[in-house]
Structure formats: structure tokens, C-alpha cells
Amino acid sequence: MPKTEVILTHNIVGLGGESDQVRVAAGYARNYLFPQRLAVPLTQSNKRQIEALRQRRAEREAHEFNTMTELSKGVSKLTCVIKVKAGEDGKMFGSVTAGMIADELKHQFDIALDKRKIHLEHPLRAIGEYEIELHLHAEVKGALKVRIESLTPAPAPAPDAAADAKAEKPRTEKRGHVKRDAESDKPEKVEAAGDKKPHSAKTEKPAKAAKAPKAEKKEQAG
């Protein structure tokens, strides 16, 4: 298959960025790259565009770096919840893939993220929480919390016999606060020890009237 050299005018994932000179299949260049204006043939006149393309590439990469840095900070505070079907034992039916996580990010937080930036060594196959690594940029990585929940309600826990027995045990009446008269069956308030009135001091007898002087007695006799 014949090859041809072209100058890329736009970033093409897996092929190169603006101003890169690459060799591609002639048919690919003729049928796709040139009609879409993603590349131009490598000629002396087109080489003059390389400097301008390099400047545009630097601006694009700086913008992408800043955008992905902000995105990394934002997603680190989020928890993406994915609900799946699972059996009573908690086993999932199927698995969670990078594509599913990307779809939920768009649905829950309106974040459009290429699933290829979500780094999963293997699909997630168990209920629980995970921290997923994100490759957002060549120089920017991030982390996203993913919680997988079951759509199947968990079975109700078995009643605790010991707890039931404790709940049914009658409460004992506290003593010392109220006692009942055996005859009238009416409650009688018991005074607390601290409420007893102190014994009143003995009242002193009034002193006897002083005897009148003897002189006065004689006058009374006369």
C-alpha cells in the first residue's frame, strides 16, 4: 500500500498534533484527511504553515492542560453512584465498565469525559466503593470515587432473641419514692431523709415573777 507524507493541521488521537509530519496511507489521506482539512500534503509551500501550526498547537495544549487540571480538582470531590442488578448474596449480574462510568458522569454531573481517560484494569464486578484513576492529560491525572449499589433490596435482618427477651422483661418499680398504705391502698408520700424537720429546741419556761420587797408587803397588810 503506497504511503504519502502529510502535515497535520489538527490534533488526531493516535496519529499526531498540529505541525507534525507523518506518513500515512495514500488512500487514507486522499479520502479522509484532505477532505476533512485535517492535513495538507507535504510540499515546500505548505511547510511555511508549520510555524503558525506550532503556535496554535501550543495554545491548544495549554488550554487543555488548564481545563483538565480544573476538572481533576472537581471530580475528586464527587462520588459517582451506579445502581446495578444483583442477587440476594450481593453478586452483580454483569459488570461496570469505563463506558458506564462515563455515561453516569454525564447523566449525574453533566461532565463529558472520554471513556478512554477512565483507567480500569478490569471491569468492576462487586458491590462497594472504588477509587478510579483518571488519565485526563499527558501531565494531569485524577481520581474519581465510584459507589456501586444494588437495585435489589437487602433482606431484613433476623430478630435478635436476646433483644426481644430484654424488651419483654417487666420493669421493676423503683422503691423509696412512693409507698402505699396497706389498708387504704392510697399512695403516701415518703419524706426524704433530707426533708425531715429538725427537732425544735426546748422552750424555756418563763421566769418566776420577782418577789415584792418586804416593805410593800407590810403596807398591804395594814
* Domain ranges for the chain: 3-67, 76-150
Distances (CA, A) of 66 to 54, 61, 106: 19, 9, 20
Phi, psi of 159 (to 5 degrees): -65, 145
Q: What pLDDT is stored for residue 167 in this prediction?
A: 58
Instruction: Give the pLDDT confidence score for residue 106 in this predicted structure.
Output: 95
pTM: 0.58
CB atoms within 10 A of CB 120: 17
CB 86 within 8 A of CB 92: yes
Domain at 3-67, CATH from 3.30.1450.10, 3.40.5.10, 3.40.50.150, 3.30.70.270: 3.40.5.10
Amino acid at 58: A
pLDDT of res. 169 = 56
Using CA atoms, how far apart are residues 109 and 81, in angstroms rounded to an integer? 11
Q: pLDDT tens string for the chain (222 positions)?
A: 689 999 999 999 889 999 999 999 999 999 999 999 999 999 988 988 899 999 999 999 999 999 999 999 999 999 999 999 888 776 788 899 999 999 999 999 999 999 999 999 889 988 899 999 999 988 999 999 999 998 876 665 666 655 555 555 555 555 544 445 444 455 454 444 444 444 444 444 545 544 544 544 444 443
Residue 156 has a pLDDT of 58
Between CA 153 and CA 159 the distance in angstroms is 18
Helices (H) and strands (E) in the chain, counts: 5, 11
Is residue 147 within 8 Å of 79, Cβ to Cβ?
A: yes
Cα radius of gyration rounded to whole Å, the chain:
48
Fold of 76-150: Ribosomal Protein L9; domain 2 (3.10.430)
- pLDDT of 161 reads 53
pLDDT recorded at residue 201 = 45
Q: Check residue 91 and give its pLDDT.
A: 79
Q: What is the pLDDT of residue 79?
A: 96
